[in-house]
Amino acid sequence: MAEQGEWNRKGATLSDVTATKEYGVDRDFIVQGTRAGTFVYREGAIWENPYLRGNENGLRNCFFARRSE
């Protein structure tokens, strides 16, 4: 799991909505990466709207690993 410091650093995490905009991945891709153990995320909610927040480095690594397959 990512160290606590990585979660608190500005710009080190991104939400599932931002990941969709920047990398073109959907929520299912993030969940599959988590189940495979290549990506770590945390759940959150704003005004009772759930979202996933993940470490950007982990998402980038997972994205490029899947893309190269």
- Nearby residues of 62 by Cβ (< 8 Å), 6 or more positions away: 33, 36, 38, 39
pLDDT tens per residue across span 23-62: 888 888 888 888 887 788 888 888 888 888 888 888 887 7
pLDDT at 3: 56
pLDDT tens per residue across span 4-30: 677 777 877 888 888 888 888 888 888
Domain ranges of the chain: 4-68
